Amino acid sequence: MELVLESGVVRGDGRAREQFYDSRGYGRPVAEGLELAPVEAAHLLYRSDIESVRDAESGESLDFRALLSSAAVSEIDVLVYKDLRDRGFYLSPARDGWVDDPSGADFVVYPRGNGPWDEEVAYRVRAESERTAVSAASLGESVLAVVDEESAITYLETDYPTVEGTSGLDLPTDVEADLLGDRVLVWEPPSRLYHEGFYGQPLDDDAGKPLQLSLVEAAALAGRGVLEVAGGEDAIVECGREVEGERFDRRLAVYRALRDRGVVPKTGYKFGADFRTYADVDTVDSLGHSELLVRVLPADHACSPRDLALDVRLAHGVRKRMVFALVSSSDSKTDIEWLEVGRLTP
């Protein structure tokens, strides 16, 4: 049987189709026989299921090494394809005309036991080198397969989570407070601000002690008329921007959005995140485990897979879900898209 590489497709005859597509899900059937993507041909070569592929252009006969070293195939794709096959999946290269909706994916992976002749899809997989930054906005509907520099592969599931909770509070008004360098102090805080709303942190456990608010908490409260601070909300925002620049505005927008959704954000500093969140705060004394770690990013951020791995691993280690808040601002409004990234073992 001869397989020929031409214009990015490897073509075989009816026998190739029987042997590779019908029984093992490689390639796509066409009238004359079978078409394989180079990554599929590379896998067949690696397995010694075929001995060589003829390059129509040069006339050369390509073995696995020669095909892998050529421009016809990316080693990243080959490694991910092989890994998924090793895990017992059939999969198809996400090429136009080969699968429905190929955009945003490199491979369409079928449930174990299924193949390209079925409709069902288990995963839409993007294969990336750990050295390639990945646009955060492009995630959410695919599984990211990251090949690290030593060729180990990890899978990250991405999704659009629903972020909402039941926390809420009848807020007080006109509470006097001082803006210090890096926080706001409320000298005579209404007890419910902390005990029911989980705003701030008392300077000591004893009742009647001043309440310390972070700048985002204070700015959000000042914006709702709760605090009376010299210079008002603007002075607090100014103070936040002094150190953090626009990042402060993004964090404040996410803080407000979370509160609006009934979710209480508290600092995620100890987890290296912007916020940890509590969906259902009744009182601080009955507080449960925080559910999410939230990292705030500009919507056009490109994530290093290494940073993603760090965030996701840490979140998993502390039994929280890792959520990215992607913030885009125009003069008229601020949009936030929520993106969840988690570990996946396919």
Catalytic residue flag (residue 278): yes
Query: What binding mask, one character per residue, do residues 227-256 give for its own copies by CB under 8 A, x or -?
Result: ----------------xx------------
Q: Segment near its own copies (CB under 8 A), from 94-102, 149-157, 189-197, 332-340?
A: 149-157
The residue within the footprint of its own copies, chosen from 121, 171, 203, 284 (CB under 8 A), is 203
Nearer to its own copies, 117 or 283 (CB): 283
Catalytic entry in 82, 278, 301, 316: 278
Residue 149 sits in the site that holds its own copies (CB under 8 A): yes
Q: How far is the CB of 229 from its own copies (least distance, A)?
A: 12
Residue 73 to residue 143: CA distance in whole angstroms: 21
Task: Give the Cα separation of 163 and 103 in Å (integer).
Answer: 27
Q: Which of residues 55-94 bind its own copies (CB under 8 A)?
A: 65, 68-69, 74-76
155 is catalytic: no
| Strand partners of residue 56 | none
Pairing of strands 107-109, 123-129: antiparallel
Closer to its own copies by CB, 78 or 99: give it: 78
The sign of the CA dihedral 204, 206, 209, 214 is positive
Pairing of strands 123-129, 143-147: parallel
Shortest distance (Å) from residue 281 CB to its own copies: 15
Whether 333 sits among the annotated catalytic residues: the reply is no
**Choice between 23 and 151, CB closer to its own copies:** 151
Angle at CA of residue 104, ends 100 and 110, nearest 5°: 50
Q: Which is nearer to its own copies, 122 or 185 (CB)?
A: 185
Q: What angle do CA 77, 126, 46 make, to 5 degrees?
A: 20
Q: Which of 160, 289, 316, 333 is catalytic?
A: 289
Near its own copies by CB under 8 A: residue from 181, 285, 333, 345: 181
* Minimum distance of its own copies from residue 117's CB (angstroms): 28
CB atoms within 10 A of CB 38: 24
Q: From the CB of residue 130, how many other CB atoms can be counted at a distance below 10 Å?
A: 19
Q: Which two tokens stand for residue 287?
A: 């507080």
Interatomic CA distance for residues 100 and 252, integer angstroms:
40
CB of 3 to its own copies, least distance (A): 22
* Tokens (6 digits) for 19: 């042997």
Of residues 273 through 332, those in contact with its own copies by CB under 8 A are 273, 305-307, 309-311, 313-314, 317-318
State how far the alpha carbon of 113 is from the alpha carbons of 31, 88, 91, 176, 228, in Å: 26, 8, 11, 66, 65
* Least Å from the CB of residue 302 to its own copies: 13
200 in contact with its own copies (CB under 8 A): yes
CA distance 209 to 57: 81
Widest CA span in the chain: 86
Which amino acid appears at position 268 of this protein?
A: G
Nearest approach, Cβ of residue 26 and its own copies (Å)? 19
Residues making contact with its own copies (CB under 8 A): 65, 68-69, 74-76, 129-132, 146-152, 154, 178, 180-183, 185, 187, 200-201, 203, 212, 214-217, 243-244, 266-267, 269-273, 305-307, 309-311, 313-314, 317-318
**Catalytic residue set:** 278, 289, 320
